[in-house]
Amino acid sequence: MVKVLLGFMGVGKTTIAGYLGAPFLDMDRMIEDRLGMPIVDYFASHGEAAFREIESDVLAELLASEEDVFISTGGGVVIRDENRQLLRQNRRNNILLKASFETLYDRIKKDKASERPLFLNNSKEAFREIFERRMALYEDLADIIIFVDNRTPEEIARIIKCV
């Protein structure tokens, strides 16, 4: 069974997955291995549309797995209709991690290890609009919603293991 961690950039999907004590696959790392370069560089050289094609391929491959595995997704995985259809078929296994926009904005700003092209290329207000549009899409797909503000990754992982 594949369990999917969904949520906006900076919410901690990959960090939390690391505390689950269970096999997990990180979509962004898999995509970067395939691209042979950081996502931010691929966005700059090939554009977002090319990135989204590869993201959809990787999602489809992962969701077809028969194994018991957690998938930590990239925050933009919900923007394509074909991805949402695949995620909808994964019902009861979509876990949404949710935090306030300001918390996420601050975290992303400080995160120099993982640069997000959409953060770098948008004003704060435009980024907030992306957040709001995306939240509606995540919530439509989510079977379980966990609020991460004021919780440690260990606590969140413990909650996930109970559901």
Task: Say how far apart CA 131 and CA 76 lie, in whole Å.
Answer: 10
Q: Name which of residues 80 to 139 contact ligand S3P (CB under 6 A).
A: 116-118
CB of residue 149 vs ligand S3P: minimum separation in angstroms?
A: 17
- For residue 146, the minimal CB distance to ligand S3P (Å) is 16
Residue selected from 9, 16, 62, 86 as contacting ligand S3P according to rule CB under 6 A: 9
Considering only 58, 62, 71, 74, the residue that binds ligand S3P (CB under 6 A) is: 74
Vertex 152 angle, CA 75 and 146, to 5°: 50
Among 3, 12, 20, 28, binds ligand S3P (CB under 6 A): 28
Could you tell me what percentage of the chain is helix, strand and coil, using 3-state DSSP and rounding each to the nearest 5?
A: 55, 15, 35
Structure tokens at 89: 């078929």
Closest C-alpha to 105, from 80, 129, 84 = 129
12 binds ligand S3P (CB under 6 A): no
Residues that bind ligand S3P (CB under 6 A): 9, 13, 28, 39, 74-76, 116-118
